[in-house]
A and B are shown apart, each in its own frame.
Chain A
C-alpha cells in the first residue's frame, strides 16, 4: 500500500494558520488540541536588512490526512484552504519527485496516533528465552561494598 504525505513549499507559507483552524473544524478538536501547527522561525537578523522569517506547518500526532475526505478522492482540508496554496497531498512517491529541483520544501509523512498505530502490547513468546541459573550463593555484604554504590561518607551509620 502506498504511503501518503504532505508536501509543503515553505518558501511561500505566510503563517495564516488556516490549516490549523480548518483541521480543528473538520475533526472537532477542542481548544488545546491540534492536527497541524505552524511554527515561526523568525524574524531574526541574518545580516543588516536581511531577516530569516520562515513559517513551517508541521502535522501533529492527530493528523489523519483527512481520511474520510481522501478516501473519496478529495484533498485534506488544510490543502484545500491553504491561502498561499503551498500544500500538496499525494503519495510519497509522486511528492518526492516534486521535491527535486525546488528549494525550500519539506515533505511530511505523518502518523495518526502513533502509539495506537503500534497496536496494544503483546508479549512475543519467542523473546526472553535466556534464563538465569539461579545458583544459591550467599555473601556477607560489608559497609565498604555498599559504599561502592554511594558517594557520601555516612555509610558507617547504616550499621
Chain B
C-alpha cells in the first residue's frame, strides 16, 4: 500500500494568521500544542477529525481547536469534540479500577477502588475458573460501535480467545448487513460516496469529478459522520454543484434541500429500489457496457424488478409513481452519481435485500469504482483486521461453537460475531451451552443498542457469574451487571491509530497522538495487550509493547506508528476502474472478487445462505399491511434513532454544553396528530406497543407525517442518584428507552437485519412531567476536576 503526506488545503474563511504547516507538536504562547487525528473515546465514527490540543505547563488540557492541516476536516469540528475537556475532566469520570461483590450488582455505593494488578488478578482468577468449567465459549464480549473497543476483535480472538464476540443488536442491524450485501454481490467491502478524501488536491484534484447527483438513502450524514464519512462533505459538494435525492420518511435539512425527496413509509425501501431499477432498465438508462462486461444476472434482475414497477411501489411506499420514475431518471442520467446508504437500510428484516437493490443501482448505472461515484479499496486494503488473530486464537473447533454459526453461517462467518438474537436466547436458556462470563467494551446495551433491554438485563443477571465493564464513565449496563470496572483513557490520553471508515473504504491513516498523562486509565489497545499477555501469552509473543500490536493490527506492518505520528495524517493511493486492471481480485484476474468475477445481480452467495439470489420486497413484520388487526390499537408507524449533533448514541448526557442542546428525550409528532390527541408541544407522552413503552417529550413538527412517529434513542440520566434504582433501572434508563418497543427475534433469513426503524405504536399524554433541570446538570457536571 502506498501512502503520501497530506497537503493542507486552506478554507477560504480561515484567516491568514493560522497554523497551516505546523509540525505535529509545537508551542504557542507558552502552551504545548499536539496535533492529533482523533478516534475514541469519546465515541464517534472513525473520520479522525483533526484536533489541536493545547496543554499548559502543569500538563492540563486547556483548549481544543480544529486542526486546519487535516485534509478532510480542515479545522472544522462538531460540538462533541469542542467539548473534549468537559469529557476528560468531567467530575463523574471514573479514573481508577474498581471491584464490586456480585451480590451488590446495581448498587453504586458498593464499588471499591483497586489497583490494575488486583483487577487483572481477579479477572485472571475468574477467567480460569469459569472457562475451566464451561469452556472458553462460555465468555461473551458485548461490543458496540464508534469506540475502539467496540470493534476490537482481538479482545476476543487474542486476549480471551472466545468465539463469542457479540454486537448485541437484533440482526446486527447496523452497518454489517450493508457490508455483507456488498461483499456477497461485488466482493468489495464497502462502496463509499467518493468525496476525494484520498486525493491530494481533494475536490480540485485532476483525478476527481464532482458527482452530479448524490442520493442519500436512509442516511442523514450531517450529525453523525456515519461509518466514518465526514458528513459535511455533502455540503462541500453541494457548493460545488451536486444535487440531491433523499430517501427518508422524515423531512430533514438535507431532504428539504433535495430535488427529490422520496418520503416513503418506513421499511418499504426495497420496493422503492426495485421500482427504480425497473424504471432505469425499461427506459434503457442503464450503463449498457458496464452491465454487459461486468455484471452477472442482468436478465434475471430485469424480470424480478418488472414485478415491482413504480405503480406498485407507489402503493407500497406511499409515493406518487411518476415522482419515483423522475427520481430514478435523475439518478441514472447523472454522471457520475453517488449513493450514501445508511443505517436505515439495515434496520428492517429484509435489510439484506434493501442493500442488494442499492448495490444493484450503483452497478447498473456504472458508478462503482468511478471518480465521483462509489470509491472502493483494492484487494490489499481494509482486510488486515477482518479475522485478526482468529485462526490461531480460536481455531476451527472452538470457532464451530460460536453462537449461531450453524443457524446463520452467512452472518457469523462474515463478521465473526455470535448472532445477537441467539446470544440473547443462550443467556436466557443456557442453550446451546451456558454463558457465564461477560465483558462490555464500547457497549451500553441496556441504554442503547438492544431491543427489549429489560429482557437483556434479566438474561445477563441470570447467567453471568462474572462481568467486566470498560468505560470512561459509569453506564447503566455496567452499574446493573458488572463486578469489575476498568477505566478507559480518552483519545487525548493515549497513542493510537485512526481506523478510517473502519478500514472498509480506506482513504487515509491518522495518528491519535497522546497529549496529556492518562493517570490510572488505559486504552483498549493497552488493556487487550496486558490482559492477553496474562491470559493467553502464546498469542502475544510477537509483541513487546502495545506499539508492536498497533503496527501489526492497524498498519499491517507496512509502516510504523512512529512514522505515522509525526505526519498526523497520511493519504492512501486512490485509483479508479481497478476491475479493468485486476486490482480487485486476489488472483490478479480482471473483474470483481466474486465467483463469477462479475457483480452478481443474481447473487450466488445469497442463495448459498438460504436466501433468494434476487432482491425482493417483504413487508415489515408489524405494519399497516402485515398486521392490519393491530392498527386499531397501534395506529402509527414507529421509527427511531435519528442522530443528533449533541450526542453519540448513549454518550455525552453528562456534558452540560451538549445536554443543553437537547435536554430531554424527544418524540416527534405531526401537528395534526398532536391536535387530534390533545398533545401540546413539550408535553411528556407515553409511546407504547405490545412489547413495551417509554416516556418522551413531544416535539410537534412537520418533520414526520400523520402516519409516523419518530423517537430519539440512547437515553439515560446520569444526573440522577445512582442508588435510586427502581423498575426503571440504573439512571432510569428504561424509563425513556424507545428500544422497550423494539423486539428481538425478527431478524432476516441470513440473520442480518431487524425492524428497528419500522415498528408500530400508539401515543398518549403522560401523567406527569420529567423535564430535565439543566441547573442540576450544570451543578453536577459543570465544574471540571
Contact = CB atoms under 8 A, between A and B. Distances in A.
A binds B: yes
A74 B778 CA distance: 31
A74 B657 contact: no
B14 A75 contact: yes
B202 interface: no
Contact of B235 (A12, A17, A30, A49): A12
Nearest to B235: A84
Nearest to A51: B256
B256 A80 contact: no
A12 B238 contact: yes
Nearest to A22: B82
B661 A17 contact: yes
Interface residues on B, range: 35 or more
Given A16-B645, A43-B703, A88 B232 contact: no
Given A21-B82, A75-B13, A83 B232 contact: yes
* Most chain B CB neighbours (cut-off 10 Å) among A21, A49, A72: A21
A151 interface: no
Contacts of A12: 235, 238-239
Contacts of A82: 13, 76
Interface string B57-71: 000000111101000
Nearest to A76: B15
B232 A84 contact: yes
A18 B232 contact: no
Given A16-B78, A53-B251, A31 B83 contact: no
B115 interface: no
A83 B253 contact: no
Contact of B78 (A74, A80, A83, A88): A83
A44 B702 contact: yes
Interface string A59-90: 00000000000001111010111111101110
Query: What secondary structure prevails in chain A residues at the interface with B?
Result: mixed
Interface residues on A, range: 35 or more
A85 B76 contact: yes
B79 A16 contact: yes
Contacts of B66: 80-81
Contacts of B75: 80-81
A83 B660 contact: no
B725 interface: no
Contacts of B778: 30-32
B17 A73 contact: yes
Interface in A16-46: 16-18, 20-22, 24-25, 30-32, 42-45
B21 to A, nearest CB: 15
B249 to A, nearest CB: 13
Contacts of B78: 16, 18, 83
B15 A16 contact: no
Nearest to A49: B261
A125 B769 CA distance: 57
A31 B775 contact: yes
B256 A16 contact: no
A21 B661 contact: yes
A36 to B, nearest CB: 13
B674 interface: no
B774 interface: yes
27 contacts: A16-B232, A18-B77, A20-B79, A30-B782, A31-B660, A31-B774, A31-B775, A32-B774, A32-B778, A42-B702, A43-B251, A43-B256, A43-B702, A51-B251, A51-B702, A53-B257, A55-B253, A73-B15, A77-B65, A80-B75, A81-B65, A83-B76, A83-B222, A85-B13, A85-B236, A87-B13, A89-B15
Interface of A: 12, 14-18, 20-22, 24-25, 30-32, 42-45, 49, 51-53, 55, 72-75, 77, 79-85, 87-89
